[in-house]
Chains A and B, each alone.
Chain A
Amino acid sequence: MRLTSQEKLKKAVELYSLKMQQEFPSPEELANLPEPSSRFQKKMNRLLRRQKKSYYRLINTSLKRVAVAILVFLLLISCLMSVGAIRAPILNFFTKVYEEYTDVTLNHSQKEVPEKLHIEEMYVPAYLPEGFEKSMENVTDNYLYFEYINKEDKYVLFEQCSYEDPSISINTEGTTYEEILIFDTVGIYYDNIGIQSVLWYYDGYTFYLMTDMGKEEALKIARSIEVEK
């Protein structure tokens, strides 16, 4: 059977792909690679957790976003009609401590600021310790990620998410955890094996910061965020 030029090109690319695979060790050999760093594992866990959220698929097109916005509007109207009182402005976090990990979730019943469907204002840390430079950035409709490093490979990871459920699972073992105040809302600070993280909710967005620069710097950076001009 004679192949068209497109089919021939497809076949050639497949042959190239098969040949390319021979350059790589087998999965068994690759399993002997050193364990990835804890920093990498934490970053990947965050990314994979976000992808698991089913509602992302519900809002991944403009039409769906409009539909969700209408739904939110109707729900808000129904809430306003049934509940006369103004809600408390302070956010609470629920924590559930299990043997191996602690689940932290935002108490939505006390949330006053509505979530935003996409990032309308980009926030950035106005303060960074000396010598830090941006090494990576990733900005999408509903997610912003900046990574800063210095010459000693110390790092600051900063995330801003819209329409994100601000919940985290923290290893209970070796973790110190406390509630902190950022602007006018309560946030979560925790330290796990020398890595400091801060999770907070502000202006309709969820923010997450991770660094190995210590608690004082972590909080200083978190409290310095401002809208990028």
Chain B
Amino acid sequence: MLYFYLSLISDPEQKSKLTRLYTAYCNVMRYAAMRILKDSYLAEDAVHQAFIKISYIIEKVQEEPCHKTRTFMVVVVENIAKDMWKKRKKDTMMDFDLLEVPAEGNLLDDLLSKIQAETVAEKIELLPDGYREVLVLRYLQDYTDEQIAALVGISHAAVRKRLERARQKLCVLLKEEKL
């Protein structure tokens, strides 16, 4: 009986947001995962896993066709594909959360005020994957720590720490540029 009441609220004709995102971005996500994993089956698994994660925060995902949404979808699947690749290769790659990055205080603000955005964008490209990912999720998609945690699969505290380290690492790269 409950199903009957609940079914009154549903609109069976309306395709879900996740379906529309899937239709629009499945191919580019498969392509992105394939570039990393070099295996179509594994790439499909990465895309599937990405959609499971995206479904957790589906309300927040922008739907308008734009580079921001495309980048978001690609960043999510790339992160999963890289994790899968590391696990498969049993790679002992460096854990970037353990990287020692010197604390820079308000130096980043100072540097950002003096350096062109284009140059900052170039430095963002040089950041380790995990750092770049959280910066994209925070500054391109305006996600909260909780939403980033759900997507990346780490704790809220780890998100805050990783964002802090990402900014510190960016600061180091910008300082080198300025010198």
| Contacts from A to B (Cβ < 8 Å) | 2-3, 5, 8-21, 24-25, 27, 30-31, 33-34, 36-37, 39-40, 43-44, 47-48, 51-55, 58, 68, 71-72, 75, 79, 108, 135-136, 138, 140, 145, 147, 153, 165
With A24-B28, A37-B44, A44-B22: A13-B113 Cβ-Cβ less than 8 Å? no
User: Size of chain B's interface in residues, with CB distance under 8 A?
Assistant: 53
CB closest chain-B residue, reference A2: B113
Determine whether the beta carbon of A14 is less than 8 Å from that of B68.
yes
What does DSSP make chain A's interface, helix, strand, loop or mixed? helix
With A12-B121, A33-B30, A153-B41: A5-B49 Cβ-Cβ less than 8 Å? no
Starting from the known contacts A40-B48, A44-B51, A55-B3, 14 additional A-B residue pairs (CB-CB under 8 Å) come to A5-B113, A9-B120, A9-B139, A13-B121, A15-B118, A16-B132, A17-B71, A21-B70, A30-B28, A31-B27, A33-B31, A44-B47, A55-B9, A55-B10
**How many pairs of A and B residues are in contact by the CB < 8 Å rule?**
138
Determine whether the beta carbon of A43 is less than 8 Å from that of B109.
no
Q: How far is the CA of A153 from the CA of B41 in the complex (A)?
A: 9
Determine whether the beta carbon of A58 is less than 8 Å from that of B9.
yes
Contacts of B159 in A (CB 8 A): none
List 9 A-B residue pairs with CB atoms under 8 Å apart, sorted by A's residue number. A8-B113, A8-B120, A13-B139, A16-B125, A16-B136, A30-B27, A30-B31, A40-B44, A55-B9
CB closest chain-A residue, reference B140: A13
With A14-B140, A165-B3: A54-B30 Cβ-Cβ less than 8 Å? no
Top 7 closest A-B pairs, CB basis? A54-B10, A12-B120, A15-B121, A40-B44, A30-B27, A5-B112, A5-B109
Determine whether the beta carbon of B1 is less than 8 Å from that of A52.
no
Residue B172 at the chain A interface, CB threshold 8 Å: no
Q: How far is the CA of A165 from the CA of B51 in the complex (A)?
A: 21
Contacts of B47 in A (CB 8 A): 40, 44
- Chain B 101-124, CB-CB to A under 8 Å as 1, else 0, gives 000000011001100011011001
Residue B40 at the chain A interface, CB threshold 8 Å: yes
Shortest distance between the CB of A213 and any CB in chain B (Å): 17
Q: How far is the CA of A13 from the CA of B113 in the complex (A)?
A: 15
Contacts of B155 in A (CB 8 A): none
Shortest distance between the CB of B164 and any CB in chain A (Å): 13
Determine whether the beta carbon of A47 is less than 8 Å from that of B52.
yes
Determine whether the beta carbon of B28 is less than 8 Å from that of A54.
no
With A40-B44, A153-B41: A19-B30 Cβ-Cβ less than 8 Å? no
